[in-house]
Structure 1
Amino acid sequence: MFVACHLAITYIRHFVTKENEEKQYIGWTNVPIVKQPRVSHQLEADIVMTSDLFRCRQTAYVLFPNHVIECSYRWRELHFGDFEGKTYEQLQAVEAYRHWLDDPVRYAPPNGETLTEFETRVEQAIDDVVYRSVSHVVVVTHGGVIRYILSKYASDVRPFWKWHVPFGEGVTLYNTRERWRERKRCISLAAVRFKESENG
């Protein structure tokens, strides 16, 4: 049980989609998950939030069927613009794609979102969490969002691409509300895994 000044935030990556399995970029592409597994867990949340995209909403309803779920576009993945729905193999010869891979801070996907725009949006989403008077919030979101948050706020300092975030799993970041508001790294973290029910 957390005291009032503590705020734990659990970030969960949505369950896998067909497009994920085919290694397509699907930032803002609105696609469903492959299946709705029956899972058991002991997570108790004061608030459940999710990206407004279908795959995250589906995952949230599977995991927290008895909660009111708040949806927000701010928890969306990076908008990949013209790269949406395409794979590395389809894009590797495209000059704009190579520029973006080499320097994603300077370059954005054509008709997509810059890294700065993405980060600003996610930080606004975090603000919406840390100014609530609660002790545990669950956020169902996307791999890129969780990697960004871990690279910025995990107690273990690693760059963005060094964080592995499996589909249907997550991580809880433990911190004080004041440290969250000051954007200080968390005090500790723990992996979150869900056990699929044997009868499901």
Structure 2
Amino acid sequence: MAHHLAITYIRHFVTKENEAKQYIGWTNVPIVKQPNVSHQLEADIVMASDLLRCRQTAQLLFRDVVIECSYRWRELHFGDFEGKTYEQLQTVEAYRYWLGDPFRYAPPNGETFTDFEARVEQAIDDVVRRSVSHVVVVTHGGVIRYVLSQYAPDVRPFWEWHVSFGEGVTLYNTKERWRERKRCISLAAVRFKENENG
């Protein structure tokens, strides 16, 4: 008998560094504002990246729930590029190499894409081992792009996926298929409605 497991991935709310288009992989910064949003999501477990922007987003969306935090759900570590913008980096040789092939080159003092992938896969393993049917993960844009490029029903490369700040996607699959790393059966967008009163 198939055991269904849906995983909803939500991208954290925006930070001022996001607005300034800075690389902030492991930089620990807060969200800009605390939107008052409503949703119908019910999860057996809510997980989040341990970085502040994800923890704050998770606490706003799931006010009375204990959030399980893990570094494994973090964004790629951008090393020497952290806190900088394209304009500041465009003449840096290492940056041009990385932009040309980010799957092959790592930012100086940063994380390789292979290490990033392995970390996210370990986080998925942790979810699949649980006796649950729906898990929500509040995480980062790069993590969601990676998951969609690997597990969405339609095959598209990493850079062709995009989820806006404060939005998400639910991947529906069976535990067995997750264990075997098979693509999901279906996918649905998740959007939150901002409450007008308060």
TM-score category of the 2 structures, normalised to the smaller one: over 0.9
SS of the aligned residue for 1:172 comes to strand
Deviations 1:118-162 (A, max 9, x none): 000000000000110100000000000000000000001110110
1:168 aligns with 2:166: yes
Pick the aligned partner of 2:36 from 17, 35, 38: 38
Q: Which residue of structure 1 lines up, in the alignment, with residue 25 of structure 2?
A: 27
Quick one: distance in 1 between partners of 2:87 and 2:135?
A: 38
Report what 2:90 is aligned to.
92
Question: Once the 2 structures are TM-superposed, how far is the Cα of residue 103 of structure 1 from its aligned partner?
Answer: 1.3
Corresponding residue number in structure 2 for 1:15: 13
Letter in 2 for 1:98: R
Given that 2:10 and 2:168 are in contact with CA atoms closer than 8 Å, whether structure 1 keeps it comes out as yes
- Find the aligned partners of 2:88 and 2:154 in 1 and give their Cα distance: 35
Alpha-carbon contact 2:2-2:176 (below 8 Å) kept? no
Aligned twin of 1:53? 51
Unaligned runs of 5+ in 2: none
Amino acid at match of 1:129: V
Aligned counterparts of 1:85 and 1:105: Cα–Cα separation in 2 = 21
2:21 counterpart SS class: coil
SS of equivalent to 1:157: coil
- Alpha-carbon distance in structure 1 between the residues aligned to 2:53 and 2:32: 9
CA distance in 2, matches of 1:76, 1:84: 14
2:78 alignment partner, one of 66, 77, 80: 80
Q: Residues 49 and 70 of structure 1 are in contact (CA less than 8 Å); yes or no, is this contact kept in structure 2? A: yes
Distance in 1 of aligned mates of 2:195 and 2:102:
40
Partner SS for 1:24: coil
In the other structure, the counterpart of 2:99 is 101
> 2:180 aligned to 172, 179, 182, which one?
182
Task: Indicate if the aligned counterparts of 2:45 and 2:134 stay in contact, CA closer than 8 A.
Answer: yes
Distance in 2 (alpha carbons) for counterparts of 1:28 and 1:85: 10
Q: C-alpha offsets along residues 56-101 of structure 1, whole Å, 9 cap, x if unaligned? A: 0000000001111100000000000000000001101100000001
Instruction: Please tell me whether the aligned partners of residues 12 and 170 of structure 1 are also in contact (alpha carbons under 8 angstroms).
Output: yes
Q: 1:91 & 1:154 partners in 2: Cα distance?
A: 33
Q: What SS class does the counterpart of residue 12 from structure 1 fall into?
A: strand
CA distance in 2: counterparts of 1:188 and 1:175, whole angstroms: 7
Structure 1 runs of 4+ with >2 Å offset: none
Give 1:4 deviation, angstroms. Answer: 7.2
**Structure 2 counterpart SS, 1:65:** coil
Could you say what the CA RMSD is over the residues aligned between the two structures, in angstroms? 0.9
Please report the TM-score for the alignment, with normalisation by the length of structure 1.
0.98
**Alpha-carbon distance between aligned partners in 2 of 1:21 and 1:71, rounded to the nearest angstrom:** 25
- Say which is worse superposed, 5-14 or 102-111, in terms of deviation: 102-111
